[in-house]
Amino acid sequence: MEKAISIQTLQRLPLYLQYLRALSADKGKNVSAKMLGNALGFGEIQVRKDLSSVSDGGKPKLGYCTKELIRDIEVFLGYDNVNDAVLVGAGKLGKALLSYQGFRDYGLNIVAGFDSNSEVCGTDESGKQILHLSRMEDLCRRMKIELGIITVPANEAQSVCDTLVKSGIRAVWNFAPVHLDAPKDVIIKNENIAASLAVLSKNLAQKENLAQQI
Amino acid sequence: MEKAISIQTLQRLPLYLQYLRALSADKGKNVSAKMLGNALGFGEIQVRKDLSSVSDGGKPKLGYCTKELIRDIEVFLGYDNVNDAVLVGAGKLGKALLSYQGFRDYGLNIVAGFDSNSEVCGTDESGKQILHLSRMEDLCRRMKIELGIITVPANEAQSVCDTLVKSGIRAVWNFAPVHLDAPKDVIIKNENIAASLAVLSKNLAQKENLAQQI
DNA sequence: GGTATATCGATATTAGAATATCGATATACC
DNA sequence: GGTATATCGATATTCTAATATCGATATACC
């Protein structure tokens, strides 16, 4: 375990985890690569290869120990040590993310939301405070926040990104449909709704059902 | 143009488009692959290859005609002929998507939202009606809707998916963090927040700034 | 008009990911 | 205890995508 891992594998790991978590409640203690593959739509060889990067192995004839596997993936993905984050842009999407409880399962904790519109400031979103943007830098520095989430409209995103970088942020999760410029040492991950939609509508248009479960 | 296209290229096309649209307002009428690449963080060869799939070419020394390129990408992605869709799950995320105006630019039109909770039914979300789930099948069949968007909690997603399939839907855009089972001829596109987050937090943890702009 | 240069497009190479093949091994059953 | 079988893991192969190389060409400038 802890070998080099491909981005593709890394992206599949949460899917295994999600399925395994749902499984562990009702089913027995072992799970095979074939079973996982069938459930998630992957080939069993791929499943084995993916899991070999994080787990120290299953047993022939039995498969993997569900509980250990869950733990291994969680540890690998760092879900055990929580990542604090700030969110900028308390519009509808921002509020949705602020109040989404599921992030806990992914080791993410949004400590507060920020907005430049004074009207929404001071309000609460499922227990998460929304503060004025001017207070962000101070909070980020004091709490040593490393991750910033951008949910502002496209035209404001670059300026928010600049502010985040100035606040000492090291990674940005960008939901605004624009490309952001940032220093090379800052990681930018774009959440690309338009790209997904493109794949989907192209498939729909072609009536080619080649790629199910994209 | 209209050659075979890779999924990777397909996913980059909306990014080019987005940048070009922003550009066309203020800048001149031509754009080079180098310029596009620099702006979006891709290599210029890749840009040229991507664009060759949709455009019938740029001119040496000049580059591509911005306006034509925009048009070519729009046509290729089918943004000119609008796709109708229904959305199920009028929680925070569902409402955010319902009221997001930007989908127009991607050729997507959500005709209505549905929910099984009678309390939210009858209300309006930025001009989109929210109706009871029981009325969905009828509407889908009458309007020949082909695309369904799922924004319900994980535990309800499979049953909603089944209902959508029964309503004649041919493609599903799934925002719930679960794997969905559906007939092979139905396209499922998972919007995978957890996967993105995995990549991001792994990068952050490793302090390897290898892959900026993922 | 001739030459220099920026840019394109096509082909070739390299890198990366998915899939197939094969031998090994732990359990189950006789 | 011995044999059959499900499953694993490692290596090899194929497929896909990214990148590099090279020649071609349209404009700009002298």
Give residue-wise pLDDT tens across range A156-203. 999 999 999 999 999 999 999 999 999 988 999 999 889 999 999 888
Nucleotide nearest to B32 (CA to C1'): C7
pLDDT value at B49 more than 90: yes
| B206: confidence class by pLDDT, cuts 50, 70, 90 | confident
Q: b/e map of A76-89 (b: 16 or more CB within 10 Å)?
A: bbbbeeebebbbbb
Query: Distance from B179 to chain A by nearest Cα, in Å?
Result: 6
* Cα gap B101→A77, rounded to integer Å: 35
Residue A211 pLDDT: 39
In this structure, are residues A112 and A140 in contact, taking their beta carbons and an 8 Å threshold? no
Residue A205 pLDDT: 83
Query: Do residue B192 and residue A83 have CB atoms under 8 angstroms apart?
Result: no
Which one has a higher pLDDT value, B210 or A63? A63
Query: Do residue B195 and residue A11 have CB atoms under 8 angstroms apart?
Result: yes
Distance from the Cα of residue B39 to its chain's centroid: 21
Is B96 touching A (CB cutoff 8 A)?
A: yes
Residue A141 pLDDT: 97
DSSP string, chain B: ------HHHHHHHHHHHHHHHHHHHHS-SEE-HHHHHHHHT--HHHHHHHHHTTSS--BTTTBEEHHHHHHHHHHHHT-SSPEEEEEE--SHHHHHHHH-GGGGGGTEEEEEEEES-TTTTT-EETTEEEEEGGGHHHHHHHHT--EEEE-S-HHHHHHHHHHHHHTT--EEEE-SSS-----TTSEEEE--HHHHHHHHHHHHHHT--S----
Beta strands in A28-116 (DSSP E): 30-31, 64-65, 83-88, 108-115
Angle at A166 between CA A162 and CA A172, to 5 degrees: 60
Average pLDDT, whole number, for chain B? Answer: 90
* Cα gap B203→B128, rounded to integer Å: 39
pLDDT value at B103 more than 60: yes
| B192: confidence class by pLDDT, cuts 50, 70, 90 | confident
Q: What is the mean pLDDT of residues A75-97?
A: 94
Is A1 touching B (CB cutoff 8 A)?
A: no
Residue A27 pLDDT: 59
pLDDT value at B28 more than 90: no
DSSP string, B110-145: EEEEEES-TTTTT-EETTEEEEEGGGHHHHHHHHT-
* Cα gap A184→B211, rounded to integer Å: 9
Taken in order A115, A120, A124, A129, is the CA torsion positive or negative? positive
Among the residue ranges A141-145, B57-61, B117-121, B185-189, the one predicted with the least confidence is: B57-61
Residue A207 pLDDT: 56
| A210: confidence class by pLDDT, cuts 50, 70, 90 | very low
**Dihedral Cα A85, A86, A89, A93, nearest 10 deg:** 30
| B26: confidence class by pLDDT, cuts 50, 70, 90 | low
Residue A28 pLDDT: 61
Amino acid letter, residue A151: T
Would the Cβ of A48 be found within 7 angstroms of any atom in strand D? yes
* Cα gap B114→B89, rounded to integer Å: 6
Residue A163 pLDDT: 98
Where on strand C do bases come within 7 A of a protein Cβ?
Answer: 5-11, 16-21, 24-28
Q: Which of B92, B185, B214 sits opposite A95 (nearest CB)?
A: B92
**Which single residue has its CA nearest the C1' atom of nucleotide C8?**
B60
User: Strand A30-31 relative to strand A64-65: parallel, antiparallel, unpaired?
Assistant: antiparallel
The burial of A101, by beta-carbon neighbours within 10 Å (0-12 exposed, 13-18 middle, 19 or more buried), is given as: exposed
Residue A207 is given by DSSP the state: T
From chain B residues 11-50, the ones with a CB under 8 A of any chain A CB are 11-15, 18-19, 22, 39-41
Q: Which of B192, B193, B204 sits opposite A146 (nearest CB)?
A: B204
Residue A131 pLDDT: 97
CA B28 / C1′ D28 distance in Å? 17
Residue A7 pLDDT: 92
Residue A176 pLDDT: 94
Query: Distance from B100 to chain A by nearest Cα, in Å?
Result: 9
Residue B211 pLDDT: 40
pLDDT value at B14 more than 80: yes
Q: Which of B18, B187, B205 sits opposite A204 (nearest CB)?
A: B187
Percent of chain B with pLDDT over 70: 93
* Cα gap B103→B108, rounded to integer Å: 5
Which residue of B lies nearest to A95 if distances are taken between CA atoms? B92
Residue B36 pLDDT: 95
Query: Distance from A14 to chain B by nearest Cα, in Å?
Result: 6
Q: What is the mean pLDDT of residues A91-113?
A: 94
Residue B51 pLDDT: 97
